[in-house]
Amino acid sequence: MDRMDDFLRLSASTARFTYGAPRAFAFGDEGRLLWFLRSTGPTDPLDSLWVLDTATGTETRVADPRELAPEPGPLPVAERRLRERTRLVAAGIGSYALSGDGLRAVFALYGRLYEVAGGVSREAAGGRSTQSAQSAQFAEPAHSAPPAQPKEVPTAGPVFDPRPNADASRIAYVTDDALYTVPGGRISPDDGARWGVSEFAAAEELGRSRGHWWSPDGQSLVAARVGESALQRRWFTDPAHPELPAEDFAYPEAGGPNADVQLWVIGPGGDGAGEGTRAVRLDWDSETYPYVSDVDWHAGDAGASEILLTVQDRLQRNVVLLRADPATGRTRELSRTTHPQWVDPLLPGTPARLPDGRMLTCADTPGGAARALALDGVLLTGDELQVRRVAGTHGDQLLIEAGRRDPSEQQVFLLDPDTGGLSPLADGPGVHSVQASGGSLLLTSADADGIRRVLRTADGREFTPGDLSQPLPYRVVPVLERVTEHAVPTALVLPRGHVPGTRLPVLLDSYGGPGMQDVSAEPRRWQHRQWWADQGFAVITIDNRGTAYVSPRYTHAMYRGFSDVTLEDQVAALQALGERHADLDLTRVGIRGWSYGGYLSALAVLRRPDVFHAAAAGAAPTDFRHYDTAYTERYLGLPGECPEVYERDCLLPDAAGLSRPLMLVTGLADDNVHPSHTLRLSQALYEAGRPHQLLALPGVTHMTPGGVREKVMALELEFFRRELGAA
């Protein structure tokens, strides 16, 4: 029986209202070309590669996966797993990489390698068109030529993560964990390691999803060598298909070994990594700084180049920017960012060296009131601004995303690196973000009325990249309040047409974990919560201490206190909202969540059954001793040094005390929160004689793609209606 209603079916068929929306924007040709991925409409999962030419305003589809692969094949295992790491649900062309001038792109499609040009050159186009953006949006270029057709490039095997050099004369790619170039061949040795890829910890937790980088002259590559022989193996089997072999992968469990990550410069000449190549290992103290979170080449004076790499110690209290000499491999320290608990990783764009040589780093203002920027160690911003991202430069100014008002909002500013002066570029209500190149800006604004994108060219014209996604069904304006002595951000969503005086059961729908913000003006995250409200619930979302973007002091309050801090703030905020809103029936409170939110849900009914009366816990990490190193140790320390922290945050000892209804959900193909987490808790509950529900989903990953989340929501609705007496 299909238990899904019209909203859930629409959500499932549109991938939660994302199919057809443009994504993965990248500028090329000094801002003249804007590349992006987009499918043909709200129910089409296959992304094509597009280019918007700002000389004319024309959008051109330059690569269509249906034409290139009428019969799709399987994804290489490395790409399938990277899509999990980056939470990519779209099919078709998942990603692409541009040549140095941005005129050509390469991409992999079901393991096959393609390259394509982005259109006619600026000279061939006859300069920029003077027609209006409105009339130019779908016009043909005045000096157009037929769009270039993608060319398939022969390779040694199924392709993963192809990258062109500066002029696209060579392409590097990975197949079977070896690094190749075309033209050329294999350039990495057959030494039992994985080459040219990112390890699990980097891709899942450190924001680095790639493992090879071309030099500016296109002759050499920095390549990551990832040794995983010391790591334990995690296994998956599909019980629905016992005839299929099991699958395994290397997993860095808290307290155990990490992957051995080395960086090598591989270039022409000499002997070394492969025939006709020379290999130089970059030399830094990798025992002290095992994590590599960023790598980049920089062209220097007189054609020289250098490598900048960012490394971190295991507990991530020290983040160090190093300069490496590609000829010798020697490194020297350029900057260091420290924190006694951990350096918060939520400030992309730092550390970095500005064109004038000054070092841009992140820093906390005194007392931890704000995330700030510093130049050569001197604070550039103060308590009034929560800096979230450095998006690059625009002219001689820094381009930043930051919050200046409520944590639920984000603005875009130009920041003068000499004076600290701010000039707003997008300062209205909502969440604003930006990309820039060659004087062109792509501004994205999200609020209760939807998501809008505007491309502003250097000469003052504007274009709107087409958005073919499903319009959001609901316009949701949550009631936002800061409560308790900690000013905890909260949001309340009531049923549409709610009649004041009607008491409602409460459903908490929170994540609650570090690195995440739930209470945000971004509109897509409120669609499902409005649906839950319309089923007869008052839906509450709470960003307890430890979550992102309130302040460093607020975030670091979770240090070695997952269970205590999370639950304390959730309970206190819920009770404060109950005092403010008489229609909240706190005698009927349910809680649901996924991943850390699943942990919070199970924690709530196990330890505070006086407050929470039913829980649905999905993909819950029930024992952080079995979660990954980079995430867990950042917040909880090493298990061998503070075992009491891990024991306090483990849910298994609480199993015997379960007295409330609990629904456990896990995907049996989840390589992030392995299903063993849920199964161990279920086993402990069974052995203690505590009844509960277990929903184990064969073939389902952590992302719950293909409508799985909506099917689970329909089952959760039945569960909460039964247990809470909702209408």
**Neighbour count for residue 99 (Cβ, 10 Å):** 23
pLDDT (0 to 100) of residue 506:
98
C-alpha separations of 178 from 116, 165, 196, 344 in Å: 24, 18, 7, 33
The answer to whether 624 and 636 have CB atoms below 8 angstroms apart is yes
3-state secondary structure of 236: strand
Q: Is residue 326 part of a domain?
A: no
C-alpha separations of 154 from 49, 77, 111, 251, 277 in Å: 20, 20, 11, 33, 21
Q: Is residue 405 part of a domain?
A: no
Task: Give residues with Cβ within 8 angstroms of 224, minimum separation 6.
Answer: 195, 196, 197, 198, 199, 211, 212, 261, 262, 263, 292, 295
Tell me the two tokens of residue 80: 């399938």
- Residue 219 DSSP symbol: S
Task: Give residues with Cβ within 8 angstroms of 148, minimum separation 6.
Answer: 62, 116, 117, 118, 119
Class of residue 112 by CB neighbours under 10 A (exposed 0-12, middle 13-18, buried 19+): middle
- How large a percentage of the chain has pLDDT more than 70? 94
Rounded Cα gap, residues 481 and 487, in angstroms: 9
Which position has the token pair 């990489």? 97
pLDDT at 355 over 90: no
Task: Give residues with Cβ within 8 angstroms of 263, minimum separation 6.
Answer: 222, 223, 224, 225, 281, 282, 292, 295, 309, 324
pLDDT at 8 over 80: yes
The mean predicted confidence, pLDDT, of the chain is: 92
Q: What is the average per-residue pLDDT within 644-664?
A: 98
Half-sphere exposure of 205 (CA within 13 A, CB side): 26
Tell me the two tokens of residue 41: 């409409």
Q: Is residue 8 part of a domain?
A: no
The answer to whether 594 and 695 have CB atoms below 8 angstroms apart is no
Q: Is residue 304 part of a domain?
A: no
The answer to whether 180 and 171 have CB atoms below 8 angstroms apart is no
Does the bond joining 158 to the residue before it have cis omega, within 30 degrees of 0? no
pLDDT digits (tens, 9 = 90+) for 116-163: 998 654 443 443 333 333 333 333 333 345 677 999 999 999 999 999
Across the beta sheet with 386-394, the strand order is: 386-394, 397-403, 411-415, 422-426
Confidence of residue 101 (pLDDT cuts 50, 70, 90): very high
Rounded Cα gap, residues 58 and 51, in angstroms: 8
Beta strand ranges found along 395-477 (DSSP E)? 397-403, 411-415, 422-426, 431-437, 440-447, 450-456, 462-463
Does the bond joining 150 to the residue before it have cis omega, within 30 degrees of 0? no
pLDDT at 631 over 60: yes
Return the C-alpha torsion angle 119, 122, 126, 129, nearest 10.
Answer: 80
End residue of a domain, out of 165, 183, 205:
165
Rounded Cα gap, residues 672 and 667, in angstroms: 10
**Neighbour count for residue 659 (Cβ, 10 Å):** 11
Tell me the two tokens of residue 159: 């392709």
End residue of a domain, out of 104, 139, 165:
165
**Neighbour count for residue 448 (Cβ, 10 Å):** 16
DSSP string computed for 58-72: EEEEEE-HHHH-SS-
Q: What is the average per-residue pLDDT within 191-215?
A: 96
Tell me the two tokens of residue 46: 């296959």
Q: Is residue 342 part of a domain?
A: no
pLDDT digits (tens, 9 = 90+) for 429-463: 999 999 999 899 999 999 999 999 999 999 999 99
The answer to whether 708 and 7 have CB atoms below 8 angstroms apart is no
Beta strand ranges found along 345-417 (DSSP E)? 352-353, 359-364, 371-375, 378-379, 386-394, 397-403, 411-415
Question: What does the angle CA 171 – CA 173 – CA 174 come to, to the nearest 5 degrees?
Answer: 165
Confidence of residue 269 (pLDDT cuts 50, 70, 90): low
Domain of 662, CATH number, reads 3.40.50.1820
Q: Is residue 151 part of a domain?
A: yes
Tell me the two tokens of residue 434: 């930006």
pLDDT at 665 over 80: yes
Q: Is residue 311 part of a domain?
A: no
Tell me the two tokens of residue 151: 């060319």
Of 314, 214, 311, nearest in space to 262 by CA: 311
The per-type count for the chain, helices as H runs and strands as E runs, is 13, 43
Query: Alpha helix locations (H) across 618-702?
Result: 629-636, 643-649, 676-687
Confidence of residue 301 (pLDDT cuts 50, 70, 90): low
Which position has the token pair 């039992």? 192
Tell me the two tokens of residue 668: 């049996």
pLDDT digits (tens, 9 = 90+) for 544-553: 999 999 999 9
Q: Which residues pair with 117 in a beta bridge?
A: 104
Find the helix or strand (DSSP H, E) in which 697 lies: strand 693-697
End residue of a domain, out of 165, 191, 223:
165
pLDDT (0 to 100) of residue 303:
62
pLDDT (0 to 100) of residue 275:
53
pLDDT digits (tens, 9 = 90+) for 64-90: 999 999 988 899 999 999 999 999 999
Tell me the two tokens of residue 527: 């669609």
pLDDT digits (tens, 9 = 90+) for 567-578: 999 999 999 999
Task: Give residues with Cβ within 8 angstroms of 610, minimum separation 6.
Answer: none
Rounded Cα gap, residues 85 and 437, in angstroms: 27
DSSP string computed for 485-524: TTTEEEEEE--TT--TT--EEEEEE----TT---S-S-GG
Rounded Cα gap, residues 245 and 367, in angstroms: 54
pLDDT (0 to 100) of residue 146:
62
Query: Alpha helix locations (H) across 158-270?
Result: 200-201
Q: What is the average per-residue pLDDT within 81-102?
A: 94
DSSP string computed for 29-41: TTTTEEEEEE-SS
pLDDT digits (tens, 9 = 90+) for 383-432: 999 999 999 999 999 999 999 989 999 999 999 999 999 999 999 999 99
Sign of the CA dihedral running 700, 705, 707, 713 = positive
- CB under 8 Å, gap of 24 or more: what pairs does 392-401 form? 392/349, 392/435, 392/436, 392/437, 393/354, 393/355, 393/436, 394/436, 394/439, 394/441, 395/439, 397/423, 398/360, 398/373, 399/425, 399/434, 399/436, 400/373, 401/432, 401/433, 401/434
Class of residue 236 by CB neighbours under 10 A (exposed 0-12, middle 13-18, buried 19+): middle
- How large a percentage of the chain has pLDDT more than 90? 87
pTM: 0.94
Q: Is residue 131 part of a domain?
A: yes
Sign of the CA dihedral running 151, 152, 153, 159 = positive
The answer to whether 551 and 591 have CB atoms below 8 angstroms apart is no
The answer to whether 440 and 19 have CB atoms below 8 angstroms apart is no
Rounded Cα gap, residues 599 and 562, in angstroms: 10
C-alpha separations of 261 from 82, 188, 220, 314, 391 in Å: 18, 15, 19, 13, 28
Number of domains in the chain: 2
pLDDT (0 to 100) of residue 139:
35
pLDDT digits (tens, 9 = 90+) for 251-264: 999 999 999 999 99
pLDDT digits (tens, 9 = 90+) for 669-726: 999 999 999 999 999 999 999 999 999 999 999 999 889 999 999 999 999 999 998 6
> What residues make up the domain containing 137?
18-165
